[in-house]
Amino acid sequence: MRVEVNQHTLQEIAEDYEAAISWVAASGFPVEQGRLAEYRRTISELSGNFATDGWGNLDDDKHRERVCTALLEVRELVSIHRGLTSLEDADATKDLRRYLKGPFSPTSESAHNASNHPRNVGFELYLNALFSFAGFRPAYGSNADLSCNHLGQTFFVEAKRPTNANAVKGLIHDANRQLSRRLKQLRRHHAKGIIALDLTKITNPQSKVMPVFSEDQLYNLMYNEDRRQIDALSSHWHSGRHRRTVGVLLHYRLLSNFVQTGALNTVKWIGFVKLADDPALDGINKKLESAIPLVC
Protein backbone atom coordinates (compact mmCIF):
# COMPACT_ATOMS: atom_id res chain seq x y z
CA MET A 1 0.00 0.00 0.00
CA ARG A 2 1.30 3.45 -0.92
CA VAL A 3 2.52 5.54 2.00
CA GLU A 4 0.45 8.60 2.76
CA VAL A 5 2.04 11.83 3.97
CA ASN A 6 -0.48 14.11 5.62
CA GLN A 7 0.39 17.77 5.42
CA HIS A 8 -1.79 19.84 7.74
CA THR A 9 -1.38 23.30 9.18
CA LEU A 10 -1.49 23.57 12.95
CA GLN A 11 -4.72 25.52 12.63
CA GLU A 12 -6.28 22.64 10.69
CA ILE A 13 -5.01 20.16 13.25
CA ALA A 14 -6.43 22.22 16.13
CA GLU A 15 -9.81 22.61 14.41
CA ASP A 16 -10.05 18.91 13.54
CA TYR A 17 -9.13 17.95 17.09
CA GLU A 18 -11.69 20.30 18.62
CA ALA A 19 -14.38 18.68 16.46
CA ALA A 20 -13.24 15.23 17.61
CA ILE A 21 -13.10 16.28 21.27
CA SER A 22 -16.60 17.77 21.04
CA TRP A 23 -17.86 14.51 19.54
CA VAL A 24 -16.36 12.50 22.41
CA ALA A 25 -17.90 14.87 24.96
CA ALA A 26 -21.29 14.72 23.24
CA SER A 27 -21.11 10.93 23.48
CA GLY A 28 -20.99 11.33 27.27
CA PHE A 29 -17.29 10.84 27.97
CA PRO A 30 -15.03 13.18 30.00
CA VAL A 31 -12.46 15.19 28.04
CA GLU A 32 -11.33 17.89 30.48
CA GLN A 33 -8.68 15.73 32.13
CA GLY A 34 -6.29 12.99 31.08
CA ARG A 35 -4.16 12.56 28.02
CA LEU A 36 -6.66 13.98 25.53
CA ALA A 37 -6.76 17.25 27.47
CA GLU A 38 -2.95 17.35 27.56
CA TYR A 39 -2.75 16.88 23.79
CA ARG A 40 -5.20 19.76 23.42
CA ARG A 41 -3.01 22.04 25.55
CA THR A 42 0.08 21.05 23.58
CA ILE A 43 -1.52 21.79 20.22
CA SER A 44 -2.93 25.07 21.55
CA GLU A 45 0.51 26.20 22.79
CA LEU A 46 2.21 25.22 19.54
CA SER A 47 -0.40 27.01 17.47
CA GLY A 48 -0.24 30.17 19.57
CA ASN A 49 3.56 30.40 19.44
CA PHE A 50 4.26 28.95 16.01
CA ALA A 51 4.87 32.27 14.25
CA THR A 52 7.84 32.98 16.52
CA ASP A 53 8.97 29.60 17.86
CA GLY A 54 7.97 27.12 15.16
CA TRP A 55 8.02 23.59 16.58
CA GLY A 56 10.22 24.74 19.46
CA ASN A 57 13.51 23.16 20.44
CA LEU A 58 13.23 19.64 19.06
CA ASP A 59 16.72 18.91 20.36
CA ASP A 60 15.17 18.90 23.84
CA ASP A 61 14.11 15.28 24.38
CA LYS A 62 11.13 16.08 26.64
CA HIS A 63 9.80 18.79 24.36
CA ARG A 64 10.25 16.67 21.24
CA GLU A 65 8.40 13.72 22.79
CA ARG A 66 5.56 15.97 23.95
CA VAL A 67 5.13 17.57 20.53
CA CYS A 68 5.49 14.42 18.47
CA THR A 69 3.27 12.32 20.71
CA ALA A 70 0.55 14.95 20.63
CA LEU A 71 0.63 15.19 16.83
CA LEU A 72 0.31 11.44 16.36
CA GLU A 73 -2.35 10.92 19.01
CA VAL A 74 -4.42 13.87 17.79
CA ARG A 75 -4.48 12.45 14.27
CA GLU A 76 -5.65 9.09 15.59
CA LEU A 77 -8.64 10.57 17.43
CA VAL A 78 -9.46 12.68 14.37
CA SER A 79 -9.47 9.49 12.28
CA ILE A 80 -11.68 7.69 14.80
CA HIS A 81 -14.08 10.64 14.80
CA ARG A 82 -14.27 10.85 11.01
CA GLY A 83 -14.87 7.14 10.58
CA LEU A 84 -17.37 6.51 13.36
CA THR A 85 -19.33 9.75 13.56
CA SER A 86 -21.92 8.61 10.99
CA LEU A 87 -22.66 5.33 12.78
CA GLU A 88 -25.82 5.33 14.88
CA ASP A 89 -25.10 2.09 16.73
CA ALA A 90 -24.23 2.90 20.35
CA ASP A 91 -21.77 0.00 20.37
CA ALA A 92 -19.59 1.91 17.91
CA THR A 93 -18.47 4.35 20.61
CA LYS A 94 -18.91 2.42 23.86
CA ASP A 95 -15.16 1.68 24.10
CA LEU A 96 -14.20 5.37 23.98
CA ARG A 97 -14.26 5.47 27.78
CA ARG A 98 -11.44 2.90 27.94
CA TYR A 99 -9.56 4.63 25.12
CA LEU A 100 -9.39 7.93 27.04
CA LYS A 101 -7.20 6.47 29.77
CA GLY A 102 -3.53 5.53 29.70
CA PRO A 103 -0.25 7.47 29.88
CA PHE A 104 0.51 10.52 27.75
CA SER A 105 3.09 8.70 25.64
CA PRO A 106 3.27 5.09 24.39
CA THR A 107 6.88 5.00 25.62
CA SER A 108 5.47 5.10 29.17
CA GLU A 109 3.42 1.94 28.68
CA SER A 110 4.42 -1.28 30.39
CA ALA A 111 3.90 -4.81 29.16
CA HIS A 112 3.43 -5.90 32.78
CA ASN A 113 0.26 -3.95 33.55
CA ALA A 114 -2.81 -2.55 31.86
CA SER A 115 -1.22 0.77 30.84
CA ASN A 116 -1.12 -0.34 27.20
CA HIS A 117 -4.81 -1.28 27.15
CA PRO A 118 -6.21 2.16 26.13
CA ARG A 119 -4.04 2.29 23.01
CA ASN A 120 -4.91 -1.31 22.22
CA VAL A 121 -8.54 -0.18 22.27
CA GLY A 122 -7.52 2.80 20.15
CA PHE A 123 -6.18 0.48 17.46
CA GLU A 124 -9.48 -1.41 17.42
CA LEU A 125 -11.46 1.85 17.21
CA TYR A 126 -9.19 3.10 14.42
CA LEU A 127 -9.73 -0.09 12.40
CA ASN A 128 -13.50 0.20 12.80
CA ALA A 129 -13.28 3.85 11.74
CA LEU A 130 -11.09 3.09 8.73
CA PHE A 131 -13.30 0.24 7.50
CA SER A 132 -16.42 2.34 8.08
CA PHE A 133 -14.99 5.30 6.17
CA ALA A 134 -14.02 2.92 3.34
CA GLY A 135 -17.62 1.75 3.03
CA PHE A 136 -17.51 -1.45 5.11
CA ARG A 137 -20.09 -0.74 7.77
CA PRO A 138 -19.04 -2.46 11.02
CA ALA A 139 -21.49 -4.92 12.56
CA TYR A 140 -21.55 -5.19 16.34
CA GLY A 141 -22.55 -8.02 18.65
CA SER A 142 -20.11 -10.74 17.62
CA ASN A 143 -17.43 -9.76 20.21
CA ALA A 144 -14.88 -9.64 17.38
CA ASP A 145 -12.65 -6.56 17.31
CA LEU A 146 -14.18 -5.78 13.92
CA SER A 147 -16.87 -7.47 11.87
CA CYS A 148 -18.19 -6.38 8.47
CA ASN A 149 -19.76 -7.75 5.31
CA HIS A 150 -18.32 -7.63 1.80
CA LEU A 151 -19.52 -9.37 -1.37
CA GLY A 152 -21.95 -11.47 0.64
CA GLN A 153 -19.30 -12.68 3.08
CA THR A 154 -18.78 -11.90 6.74
CA PHE A 155 -15.26 -10.85 7.67
CA PHE A 156 -14.01 -11.03 11.24
CA VAL A 157 -10.89 -9.05 12.16
CA GLU A 158 -8.92 -9.67 15.33
CA ALA A 159 -6.61 -6.78 16.21
CA LYS A 160 -3.37 -7.15 18.15
CA ARG A 161 -0.87 -4.49 19.21
CA PRO A 162 2.31 -6.14 20.53
CA THR A 163 4.38 -4.03 22.90
CA ASN A 164 7.66 -5.77 22.05
CA ALA A 165 9.08 -8.32 19.63
CA ASN A 166 8.79 -11.16 22.15
CA ALA A 167 5.02 -10.72 22.32
CA VAL A 168 4.30 -10.97 18.60
CA LYS A 169 4.22 -14.75 18.23
CA GLY A 170 1.86 -15.24 21.16
CA LEU A 171 -0.55 -12.53 20.00
CA ILE A 172 -0.68 -13.95 16.47
CA HIS A 173 -1.45 -17.34 18.03
CA ASP A 174 -4.25 -15.72 20.07
CA ALA A 175 -5.69 -14.08 16.94
CA ASN A 176 -5.63 -17.38 15.04
CA ARG A 177 -7.32 -19.14 17.94
CA GLN A 178 -10.04 -16.48 18.22
CA LEU A 179 -10.70 -16.49 14.49
CA SER A 180 -10.77 -20.29 14.32
CA ARG A 181 -13.42 -20.38 17.04
CA ARG A 182 -15.60 -17.85 15.21
CA LEU A 183 -15.15 -19.45 11.79
CA LYS A 184 -16.03 -22.92 13.04
CA GLN A 185 -19.24 -21.53 14.49
CA LEU A 186 -20.20 -20.01 11.11
CA ARG A 187 -18.89 -22.64 8.72
CA ARG A 188 -22.09 -22.60 6.66
CA HIS A 189 -22.00 -18.86 6.22
CA HIS A 190 -18.64 -18.75 4.45
CA ALA A 191 -17.20 -16.31 6.96
CA LYS A 192 -13.59 -15.27 6.57
CA GLY A 193 -10.95 -14.07 9.02
CA ILE A 194 -8.26 -11.37 8.96
CA ILE A 195 -5.48 -10.79 11.49
CA ALA A 196 -4.61 -7.12 12.09
CA LEU A 197 -1.28 -6.25 13.70
CA ASP A 198 -0.16 -2.79 14.78
CA LEU A 199 3.62 -3.09 14.55
CA THR A 200 4.37 0.50 15.51
CA LYS A 201 6.00 -0.38 18.84
CA ILE A 202 7.97 -3.21 17.26
CA THR A 203 9.49 -1.06 14.54
CA ASN A 204 9.79 2.17 16.53
CA PRO A 205 9.73 1.41 20.29
CA GLN A 206 11.13 4.81 21.27
CA SER A 207 8.69 6.78 19.08
CA LYS A 208 11.54 8.40 17.19
CA VAL A 209 10.99 10.77 14.28
CA MET A 210 12.10 9.48 10.88
CA PRO A 211 14.25 12.01 8.96
CA VAL A 212 13.73 11.80 5.19
CA PHE A 213 14.58 13.88 2.13
CA SER A 214 11.60 12.99 -0.07
CA GLU A 215 8.37 11.03 -0.22
CA ASP A 216 10.07 8.52 -2.50
CA GLN A 217 12.72 7.85 0.13
CA LEU A 218 10.03 7.53 2.79
CA TYR A 219 8.13 5.09 0.59
CA ASN A 220 11.23 2.95 0.06
CA LEU A 221 12.04 2.91 3.78
CA MET A 222 8.50 1.91 4.73
CA TYR A 223 8.23 -0.68 1.95
CA ASN A 224 11.49 -2.31 3.02
CA GLU A 225 10.42 -2.37 6.68
CA ASP A 226 7.06 -3.85 5.77
CA ARG A 227 8.78 -6.52 3.67
CA ARG A 228 11.16 -7.29 6.52
CA GLN A 229 8.28 -7.76 8.97
CA ILE A 230 6.37 -9.99 6.55
CA ASP A 231 9.40 -12.23 6.07
CA ALA A 232 9.98 -12.43 9.83
CA LEU A 233 6.37 -13.13 10.83
CA SER A 234 4.95 -15.23 8.01
CA SER A 235 5.73 -18.55 9.71
CA HIS A 236 3.84 -17.40 12.82
CA TRP A 237 0.54 -16.50 11.18
CA HIS A 238 0.47 -19.76 9.25
CA SER A 239 0.86 -21.76 12.48
CA GLY A 240 -2.56 -22.91 13.66
CA ARG A 241 -4.33 -20.84 11.00
CA HIS A 242 -7.88 -21.76 10.02
CA ARG A 243 -8.10 -22.21 6.24
CA ARG A 244 -10.65 -19.39 6.08
CA THR A 245 -8.34 -16.92 7.80
CA VAL A 246 -7.38 -15.34 4.51
CA GLY A 247 -5.37 -12.20 5.22
CA VAL A 248 -3.10 -10.21 7.50
CA LEU A 249 -3.20 -6.44 7.82
CA LEU A 250 -0.01 -4.77 9.07
CA HIS A 251 -0.33 -1.25 10.45
CA TYR A 252 2.40 1.31 11.16
CA ARG A 253 2.19 4.94 12.22
CA LEU A 254 5.02 7.39 12.72
CA LEU A 255 6.08 10.97 12.43
CA SER A 256 8.46 11.97 9.65
CA ASN A 257 10.68 15.03 9.40
CA PHE A 258 11.38 16.27 5.89
CA VAL A 259 14.92 17.52 6.40
CA GLN A 260 14.96 20.13 3.64
CA THR A 261 11.80 21.90 4.79
CA GLY A 262 11.64 21.00 8.49
CA ALA A 263 8.06 19.79 8.04
CA LEU A 264 6.68 17.24 10.50
CA ASN A 265 4.12 14.90 8.98
CA THR A 266 2.08 12.00 10.29
CA VAL A 267 2.50 8.87 8.22
CA LYS A 268 0.15 5.89 7.93
CA TRP A 269 1.15 2.68 6.23
CA ILE A 270 -0.95 -0.46 5.95
CA GLY A 271 0.49 -3.60 4.41
CA PHE A 272 -1.93 -6.28 3.26
CA VAL A 273 -0.87 -9.92 3.01
CA LYS A 274 -3.11 -12.40 1.19
CA LEU A 275 -3.06 -15.86 2.74
CA ALA A 276 -5.55 -17.26 0.26
CA ASP A 277 -6.69 -16.46 -3.26
CA ASP A 278 -9.83 -14.54 -2.39
CA PRO A 279 -11.02 -11.78 -4.77
CA ALA A 280 -12.77 -10.03 -1.88
CA LEU A 281 -9.39 -9.20 -0.34
CA ASP A 282 -8.37 -7.15 -3.37
CA GLY A 283 -11.51 -5.08 -3.01
CA ILE A 284 -10.95 -4.54 0.71
CA ASN A 285 -7.33 -3.52 0.16
CA LYS A 286 -8.24 -1.10 -2.63
CA LYS A 287 -10.96 0.61 -0.62
CA LEU A 288 -8.79 0.92 2.49
CA GLU A 289 -6.00 2.37 0.39
CA SER A 290 -8.36 5.04 -0.94
CA ALA A 291 -9.77 5.83 2.51
CA ILE A 292 -6.51 6.31 4.41
CA PRO A 293 -5.54 9.75 3.05
CA LEU A 294 -9.06 11.02 3.71
CA VAL A 295 -9.72 9.64 7.17
CA CYS A 296 -6.30 10.43 8.67
The pLDDT of 115-139, averaged and rounded, is 96
Whether 25 and 94 have beta carbons less than 8 Å apart is answered as no
Average pLDDT, the chain: 92
Q: Please say if the pLDDT value at position 19 is more than 80.
A: yes
The pLDDT of 267-278, averaged and rounded, is 92
- C-alpha torsion sign, points 20, 23, 29, 31: positive
What pLDDT digit, counting tens, does each position of 215-226 carry? 899 999 999 999
The pLDDT of 201-212, averaged and rounded, is 92
- Res 10: pLDDT: 87
User: How many C-beta atoms lie closer than 10 Å to residue 250's C-beta?
Assistant: 21
Grade residue 293 by pLDDT with cuts at 50, 70 and 90: confident
Report phi then psi at 236, rounded to 5: -70, -45
Instruction: Quickly list DSSP for 160-229.
Output: E--SSHHHHHHHHHHHHHHHHHHHHHTGGGT-EEEEEEE-HHHH-TT---EEES-HHHHHHHHHHHHHHH
d(CA 292, CA 270): 9
What pLDDT digit, counting tens, does each position of 258-270 carry? 998 888 888 889 9
What pLDDT digit, counting tens, does each position of 175-198 carry? 999 999 999 887 666 899 999 999
Inter-helix orientation angle 279-295/61-84, to 10°? 120
Grade residue 9 by pLDDT with cuts at 50, 70 and 90: confident
Q: Please say if the pLDDT value at position 232 is more than 90.
A: yes
